Amino acid sequence: MPTHPHAPMPNDSPAADNNPSADDRRAHESLDPEDWQRMRALAHRMVDDALTYLQTVAQRPVWQPVPPAVQTQLQGKLPHEPSAPEKVYDEFVENILPYPLGNIHPRFWAWYMGNGTVFGALADLLAATMNPNHGGGQHAANLVELQVIGWMKEITGFPDTASGLLVSGGSMANLVGIAVARNSCAGFDVRRYGVADSAQKLLVYASSETHSCNQKAVELLGLGNENLRKIDLNDDYSMHLQHLADTIAADQQAGHRPICVVATAGTVNTGAIDDLNAIADLCQQHKIWFHVDGAIGAVALLADNVRAKLCGLERADSVAMDLHKWLHIPFEAACVLVRDRELHRQTFSLMPEYLQKNTRGIASGGHWFSEYGVQLSRSFRALKIWMTIKEHGSKKLGRMIARNVAQAQYLGRLIAQHPKLELRAPIGLNIVCFRFNPGNVSAAALGKLNRAILENLQEQGLAAPSDTTLRGEYCLRVAICNHRSRDEDFDLLVRETIRIGDSLAA
């Protein structure tokens, strides 16, 4: 490797520096390892341990509480002096690694979380090694994100001219989409005057099953949660179209301004999918922004047994997609797509003199992601998405999604076959809501019994469903977004639910 003619070689040092003073050492110190070979050995150990940890995950409990002694260890004061890297790593192995949330385990079905992948974890290491700030400029990371966004447009059927942005999760993706809707449909310059200048109420519509992040977005954007119209549900927990149409008509007649309908492609409670085509028609008729919260279901367009249910998503003005769910990208990874690139850019672009683009050098490059979202400082999250999709291909990822959907139906059949188990909602996509009911138990006692079953399943490390309340009834909720789950895992869940339920009921 060529060097500058006047640059000292790494091992060259003047004779006077053979015994440098402490002040001299501090003047030349950095945060790089003092001993690269020692760090290399530790790095190899860390990677080997990580691979073993993932390879043997099914042999450990799904979850276990953090012991009080470990909690105390993790409340220590700020370190003032260095520690050997090996010692720091040993402390991680002892006090942190054994007590995960559990979502990498085959029997974790709580909330809605993907498992990650081995290659994705290694990609995160490589991204952190390069460590670019991903707001703009001319470098390879920008091109990787543009390619990944192009792949998301292919999956959803969005046009090549659409824009997109990788963000931390569905919450931020929905915020971006609704922000573009607000600025584009308000009828005045929101960025200049603010929403307080509106002579009309600016209204957003979503089903009563919409994710809480959409209400947060409406509040953060200054619209107020009273202007988020919660629409009634059908029996399958999808949005009631007639109630939506009637509510929009009534609001328009009252002089208000409907600006956005948030449809859901996979609700968080039951996995229900709104009628996307019908909502698209209604939005087109009334010139209302059509946003799809596809955090759960949008990537299921890759699955043969789901694709037809998502017809109409390609008509959205914007869509949110969580890639750390059903694509199993390590946290954090999500995407928002916006059909009209210029409306997207106008909502967020602000380029002061210290961010001026150039035609040459690092500050060249036509596309700066900082113009399409809130963040200027952004991590290279595109790499783990790029490497995961390259490794597995869209067809295999689609098969993993399709298998989870089939597993939900399998679990539903197991529940239907047992007289003490009850399905509490239609199975939408991959979410199963059920409860244990031995009979002759009051509604209040039944809720307490099922909560105790959930706690025992989790605390014994057997399985990790979560819970919810549907139409006033407490139930267990199994969200099957797990590429490591097998049918025998659901056999165990049913068997242990009945065993624990019988024991508690007795």
How confident is the model at residue 21, as a pLDDT? 78
Q: Say whether pLDDT at 487 is over 80.
A: yes
Instruction: Estimate to the nearest angstrom the gap between the alpha carbon of 161 and the chain centroid.
Output: 25
Which residues, in sequence order, are CB contacts of 441 under 8 Å at separation 6+?
449, 505
Tell me, what amino acid is at 312?
Answer: G
pTM of the model: 0.93
Q: What's the whole-number average pLDDT of the chain?
A: 94
Confidence of residue 366 (pLDDT cuts 50, 70, 90): confident
Q: What is the rounded average pLDDT of the residues 26-54?
A: 95
pLDDT tens for each residue of 381-429: 999 999 999 999 999 999 999 999 999 999 999 999 999 999 999 998 9
Record the tokens describing residue 199, joined without a space: 């002579």
Looking at residue 63, the DSSP 8-state letter turns out to be -
Sign of the alpha-carbon torsion through 49, 50, 53, 56: negative
How confident is the model at residue 498, as a pLDDT? 98
Angle, helices 341-348 vs 170-185, to 10°: value is: 100
How confident is the model at residue 17, as a pLDDT? 54
Task: Provide the percentage of residues in the chain whose pLDDT is more than 70.
Answer: 96
CB 472: neighbour CB atoms within 10 A? 7
More confident residue, 280 or 363: 280
189 vs 185, 198, 217, 225, 424, CA distance in Å? 10, 10, 19, 21, 47
Record the tokens describing residue 44, joined without a space: 């190899």
Which residues, in sequence order, are CB contacts of 146 under 8 Å at separation 6+?
367
Looking at residue 108, the DSSP 8-state letter turns out to be B
pLDDT tens for each residue of 425-448: 999 899 999 999 999 899 999 999
How confident is the model at residue 357, as a pLDDT? 82
How confident is the model at residue 497, as a pLDDT? 98
Selection from 192, 152, 416 nearest residue 294 by Cα: 152
Confidence of residue 24 (pLDDT cuts 50, 70, 90): confident
Selection from 215, 217, 213 nearest residue 178 by Cα: 217
Strand order in the sheet with 473-479: 421-423, 431-436, 473-479, 466-470
Cis peptide, bond prior to residue 332, ω within 30 of zero: yes
Task: Provide the percentage of residues in the chain whose pLDDT is more than 90.
Answer: 88
How confident is the model at residue 23, as a pLDDT? 79
Selection from 91, 58, 50 nearest residue 74 by Cα: 91
Q: Say whether pLDDT at 83 is over 50.
A: yes
CB 132: neighbour CB atoms within 10 A? 15
Q: Say whether pLDDT at 7 is over 50.
A: no
Q: Say whether pLDDT at 480 is over 50.
A: yes
Record the tokens describing residue 360, joined without a space: 């040459």
Phi, psi of 239 (to 5 degrees): -70, 135
Q: Say whether pLDDT at 8 is over 80.
A: no
Q: What is the rounded average pLDDT of the residues 57-61?
A: 97
Domains, the chain: 36-111 (1.20.1340), 132-351+362-379 (3.40.640.10)
